[in-house]
Structure 1
């Protein structure tokens, strides 16, 4: 328990400190009330004992009321106990109406003072527990409804075995794989089977965060820290306290931000923008990227020391084209999912359709397969889906194949670039529609446009 005592009587301060330090972790004393804002900005206190009258006004209590309002304005959940030498009931009632928790009369009995402080500390702890629960509830991802990792192929079974091994540990995990392979799904599975499963799972798309807002998003900020900071904001690290923080697309993080992230992971503490308060963090870190992160290190685009910090364990997710036999299983799952969503009977897949889907390269991986099946189910009135219901895939496959022959390359980057260009042409440059067609998020598509100079 940390207690702050503000009184202009040095004897009172010393006597209170001598007694309370036997029962408290820390007792801070201050005779000048004008230092209260500074003290509150430097640390948080479980209980604040505040004198009702100071030297400028020894009887009316106006100074005490003034500083009580200032404290609650700066720290709304502060627990303040007023101190007064005058048994004025009206002043005590007014202090309680203004937000004080309790009051004590001086000279006090030590037992009465201790009982009051301990009672106030319990209230303070309950406030903190409620606030923590509210934050957790607001940002808790219900991982059980976040989907399952489906498949019977050897490649995906190896991934499931890795998840089972690392989940119960607190090791940092780096998930590698192409877009659409299910990296966030794996991160959620690790959290679901971890010892932190009852706490928050907080996901952050690092590629979608503006460079100017990086620290604010991750570490939080105080009101007035910058132009648009109109209220305090809790950062993602603090929201994930005692739970799991998932940093997706970490390979896109600029070097300057890599250094700041490394410092936080090394020191296990954050400082919100505009504050001097240091907040300890207790999280399980999972990161993911679709980049060749080791190549990025070799090229100087990613810090090697940060890579060492985040990849205690690496999990490589196979692309869909390497998951032989999983497409029929996934297709059945997605058709059932969207049939339920759209209140439709679940269509079947003809043998010809299954063969077609198994031969299609799916550069967008599982995400592209899911999108294709949803679209086919919506557009088709048949009880059995045929290859013609996937005409958009057939057209893309033919175009890609012909262009690949023409350029004498089957390089996946070239194929991806071609598909992106065709999607943009099809929707006249509309990013949202092109991204949906490709099974990508807008942020992911923007990154590819920059990558390929489109």
Structure 2
């Protein structure tokens, strides 16, 4: 039989191990997880043929796991198990996409029969998905330009998550288009006719940010000359986008966590909570896992935000889209400025192809806009790009010389990452080999937490399954 990967999620070790033994006897490859949060991290990195999850678990419930799976891997069937067998919970689980429902205690025959039927359904679903993909792929999406494999993955994730109300965390370097993703999620959701409210968390001091988000009552502090409605309430029925969420204080993080849990806000100086109905989308250009380990970002808030992650690739990793983006910006700015620009001279195009774009798509957009203004003929020349290319002794990333302190910081970060990447890869691969490719044991042996070890694998784009196959 095909070696199907099954993920079992239950906070009770006896249930996890019992299911492992039953299913491994049937020839399935079984992985287990003691919590919903850890299960979701695995589902973000690995593909499974089936998930079996308990309904009642501390932290993230089985119902929350189910809803997230239907976005992350919608074709994967989910079986819910619980000791709380009621008609209501069974109906709710089925409404949210569960394949089936089984009550504790159960016999080995009952569970193997449920699994067999679930995998039969999965085979049909995968066939339908394959046919849909054969009919046509996305060559751009919403207001995005690009047809690279990396961007196709982003488009699919937006399409999957948009119809839901799940919280979304968008990660990526500055200039990759995180707000565009947030708007695309909103524009393709049932909330599209309601407000999209964007907040830059770096632009306001802590006390002002809390007032902006939650509102305040007249006289609640010096300068509060009138009652102010918070942006959580302004966005009611729509989407609230918190950009650069890593910059908010621990105090504000605690209040934000409570809002996400309770779905209500209390204005500064107020006593009565106000219910809200919003979809939260957050974005950051920093590694929140690192900030969690440093104690500057709450782990419980991170888990609440990281339900559905969308990681935007830097432009240097999607160079296949470069010509499409150049053509798009060239047409846009030529029309705006009334210029008849036919294209780029060969040496100008070659310069862009070799450039690292530390500022990503935003930087490319600025470069083309400037070049359209400066071009004296109908072709953009190399000098019109005004790129400062370093000599060999000066070279930074891709021959780029930073022009301001922010670009210098970003370039130094990229150089550091590239310098340490080979030793990081050797470190994790050797640890995995010593532990027979078991991530949990490799993490324990190296003294790392499993989620941090997995994050390092993801950053280095190492697939344990592919490595084992090779």
Calculate the TM-score normalised by the size of structure 2.
Answer: 0.54
Aligned ranges for residues 52-451 of structure 1 at < 5 Å?
148-391=143-386, 393=387, 395=388, 397-398=389-390, 402-404=393-395, 419=402, 422-423=403-404
Once the two structures are TM-superposed, the CA of residue 390 in structure 1 deviates from its matched residue by 1.2
Q: Displacement of 1:230 after TM fit?
A: 2.3
Q: What per-residue deviation string (whole Å, max 9, x for no partner) do you get for residues 39-80 of structure 1?
A: xxxxxxxxxxxxxxxxxxxxxxxxxxxxxxxxxxxxxxxxxx
Q: 2: CA distance between counterparts of 1:312 and 1:147?
A: 23
Paired with 1:295 and 1:310, the residues of 2 have a C-alpha distance of 15
8 Å Cα contact 2:142/2:184 also seen in 1: no
- 2:146 alignment partner, SS class: coil
Normalised TM-score (structure 1): 0.56
Q: CA RMSD in A?
A: 2.5
1:255-276 Cα offsets, whole Å, 9 max, x none, are 1211111111111111112222
Q: Measure how far apart 1:246 and its partner are.
A: 0.5
Looking at structure 2, the residues matched to 385 and 316 of structure 1 have their Cα atoms a distance apart, in angstroms, of: 33
CA distance in 2, matches of 1:214, 1:423: 28
Distance in 2 (alpha carbons) for counterparts of 1:386 and 1:242 = 49
Native 8 Å contact 1:151 1:326 kept in 2 = yes
**Unaligned ranges ≥5, structure 1:** 1-145, 425-434, 445-454
- CA offsets, 1:186-243, max 9 Å, x none? 0100111011111110000111121121210101112222222222221110011010
* Structure 1 partner of 2:64: none
* Partner Cα distance (1:323, 1:312) in 2: 25
Structure 1 residue 439: Cα displacement: 13
CA distance in 1, matches of 2:274, 2:408: 39
Q: Closer, same or farther in 2 for the Cα pair 1:252/1:297, shift >3 Å?
A: same
- Give the structure 2 partner of residue 429 of structure 1: none
Counting matched residue pairs gives 270
CA deviation after TM superposition for structure 1 residue 168, in Å: 0.7
1:147–1:185 CA contact under 8 A, matched in 2? no
Q: Who wins on radius of gyration, i.e. which is larger? A: 1
